[in-house]
Amino acid sequence: MDGGIFETVENEPVNIEELAFKFAVSNINRNRTLMPNTTLTYDIQRINLFDSFEASRRACDQLALGVAALFGPAHSSSVSAVQSICNALEVPHIQTRWKHPTVDNRDAFYINLYPDYAAISRAVLDLVLYYNWKIVTVVYEDSTGLIRLQELIKAPSRYNIKIKIRQLPSGNKDARPLLKEMKKGKEFYVIFDCSHETAAEILKQILSMGMMTEYYHYFFTTLDLFALDLEPYRYSGVNMTGFRLLNIENPHVSSVVDKWSMERLQAPPKPETGLLDGMMTARWEGLTGRITFNKSDGLRKDFDLDIISLKEEGTEKIGVWNSYSGLNMTDSNKDRSTNITDSLANRTLIVTTILEDPYVMYKKSDKPLYGNDRFEGYCLDLLKELSNILGFIYEVKLVSDGKYGAQNDKGEWNGMVKELIDHKADLAVAPLTITYVREKVIDFSKPFMTLGISILYRKPNGTNPGVFSFLNPLSPDIWMYVLLACLGVSCVLFVIARFTPYEWYNPHPCNPDSDVVENNFTLLNSFWFGVGALMQQGSELMPKALSTRIVGGIWWFFTLIIISSYTANLAAFLTVERMESPIDSADDLAKQTKIEYGAVRDGSTMTFFKQVVWTQQV
């Protein structure tokens, strides 16, 4: 005899699990090859929801009748009460719902048909990594959801993932205020951990909030997503993914599901091994695939999860996750090889643009025009050809603020870029410049025109050469340095000539015994020697000592370089007019303040100059 304890709700006269339990026992009894010479009987007890005391009392009543195993209840508080009794009396306890992990592992006499929570958490993390989500929002129904998703919650410490955690409101089940915050925060990748009943209500509220679009991707951890009515959302374009433990694509499983039955037991336990030991060592092939239990904790850790996604044809299997081999996406190549024409065909796109000749202009007509007929230009012709090729329908709207799109100091965007970010428009067709900051928030197609920043500058008026135009080849600083160098060399030559004896001579050669000697390199003569060399004229003074000749030779070489450079540039400076403030690039224009310039407000050119000025200030 087996005992079943089921919870009842006022609005539900018969528990679904109770019906399945009765149907399973009756089918096993009809199949005489499954358990020959054995007939299963059952005793069913009904309790109120959350009544753990009543659950304990009913369990004791069933154990007094001599049941071989207990099945149920479903709620966690009632399960714990029944489990403690089964541990004390060493009676197997069969559980079908998620089990809260125990720290001391005192629960020994149970098996759990529900997949291990740690394995499901790893499966969710594998899918997040596969889709390469960088920012994920986790919405949970109760505190147990945080336990079930521990692997994902710990992911930011190991992977480059940001996680936002939100909780569904309890009681009224109205999640629209929460969804409004998520929509305002541009949270497009959302994981819902809730029951399938709550998931059905949330999907209706998501649709009413206008969040059932292709920009969002929702993932539900419930294993019963396939059982929900997803017909209203098939053609919305939304990305919806979930797990499925029941392989309904198997024909035999489908027939069993229709009959509320279980598949044939492949390896029944031997009578002498004990009922619980037989369950632990047996390998079953049930409706949910392989059923094997961990001998240490009785949890089901070897199982497969089908990855299902909502398509226009309905829910479709796109991959399999195994508790040992991990994720295997079976149709990834199929999705990536799908032609883009299939995804845009028969869709209506909102196209934002801006008035700019000759790209987008108002069409001149003596009759009132409406819709897309109001505009003409290159961008409209390009959009029309794309529509003919890809098969989509479009509606052209002018950007509300009349701007291309720039980012302010707070990081907020305006113009067409803002409308694309806020999903007010699906496409922007305009002469919009591709920049680095824009590429971080929106995607660009290949450019239909490649241009740079052009500068229009008025040619300065010509000026006649002045009296001192011959000084223009060298800057005033260089002229000053040359003069100082001439004075410095003269002083050095004067001092060295005073020290060396070879520069002193007898002014009276006829009187060799005269004590009077003279030196030609006086301070004035030394300066005259330097000026003569600079003017390329020389002088009658010639150094005799080796030291003075070295100084003179160095000065001659210096004057050779200076005079050669001056002579080469003098003719050019006298014939070619130079701008007072030369501009060779856009950087030069941004770095000066003398020449005033302008650009289109909130355009790429204005953004460029703002960044250059900000960089200089920093």
Q: In this predicted model, what pLDDT tens digit does every residue of 422-442 receive, in sequence order?
A: 888 889 999 888 888 888 888
Quote the tokens at residue 140: 């949970």
Q: Where are the alpha helices (DSSP H) in 209-315?
A: 251-258, 275-281
pLDDT category of residue 581 using cuts at 50, 70 and 90: low
Cα–Cα distance list, 307 to 315, 455, 601 (Å): 10, 57, 49
Q: What is the mean pLDDT of residues 103-131?
A: 78
Which helix (H) or strand (E) is 19 found in, with range? helix 16-30
Residue 220's pLDDT is: 92
Which residue has tokens 């089918």? 27
Which helix (H) or strand (E) is 428 found in, with range? strand 427-428
The rounded distance, in Å, linking the Cα atoms of 195 and 466 is 92
Residue 407 gets which letter from DSSP?
A: B
The alpha-carbon radius of gyration of the chain (Å, integer) is 45
Q: For residue 115, give the nearest of 223, 263, 242, 247 by alpha carbon.
A: 223
The residue type of 375 is F
Residue 291's pLDDT is: 64
Cα–Cα distance list, 595 to 232, 454, 475, 582, 617 (Å): 62, 15, 23, 10, 19
Q: Where are the alpha helices (DSSP H) in 422-522?
A: 436-439, 476-499
Locate the DSSP E strands across 81-194: 93-95, 110-112, 135-140, 162-167, 189-193
Q: Where are the alpha helices (DSSP H) in 292-423?
A: 332-336, 340-344, 378-390, 415-421
Measured in whole angstroms, the distance separating CA 589 from the mean position of its chain's CA atoms is 36
Which helix (H) or strand (E) is 42 found in, with range? strand 42-48
In this predicted structure, the answer to whether residue 65 has a pLDDT above a threshold of 60 is: yes
Q: Which residues contact 221 (CB under 8 A, 6 or more apart)?
A: 120, 124, 145, 148, 149, 191, 192, 193, 194, 242, 243
Question: Among 101-110, 415-424, 529-538, which is the least confidently predicted range?
Answer: 101-110
Q: For residue 44, give the nearest of 2, 87, 82, 75 by alpha carbon.
A: 2
Question: Among 143-147, 178-182, 370-374, which is the least confidently predicted range?
Answer: 143-147
Q: What is the mean pLDDT of residues 316-345?
A: 66
In this predicted structure, the answer to whether residue 234 has a pLDDT above a threshold of 80 is: yes
Q: What is the mean pLDDT of residues 134-158?
A: 86
- Residue-wise pLDDT for 173-202, tens only, equals 788 889 999 988 888 999 999 888 889 999
Q: Which long-range contacts (CB under 8 A, 24 or more apart) does 179-185 make?
A: 179/205, 179/206, 179/209, 179/211, 180/209, 182/137, 182/211, 183/209, 183/210, 183/211
Contact 81, 55 (CB under 8 A): yes
The rounded distance, in Å, linking the Cα atoms of 471 and 165 is 74
Measured in whole angstroms, the distance separating CA 153 from the mean position of its chain's CA atoms is 18
The rounded distance, in Å, linking the Cα atoms of 120 and 117 is 5
Q: What is the DSSP string of 575-597?
A: HS---SS---SHHHHHH-SSS--
Q: Is the pTM of this model over 0.85?
A: no
Q: Which residues make beta-bridge pairs with 327?
A: 321
In this predicted structure, the answer to whether residue 333 has a pLDDT above a threshold of 50 is: no
Residue 191's pLDDT is: 93
Contact 487, 555 (CB under 8 A): no
Residue 136's pLDDT is: 92
pLDDT category of residue 260 using cuts at 50, 70 and 90: very low
Q: What is the mean pLDDT of residues 480-498?
A: 89
In this predicted structure, the answer to whether residue 606 has a pLDDT above a threshold of 80 is: no
The rounded distance, in Å, linking the Cα atoms of 241 and 133 is 14
Please tell me which residue, 398 or 339, carries the higher pLDDT value: 398
The rounded distance, in Å, linking the Cα atoms of 301 and 291 is 9
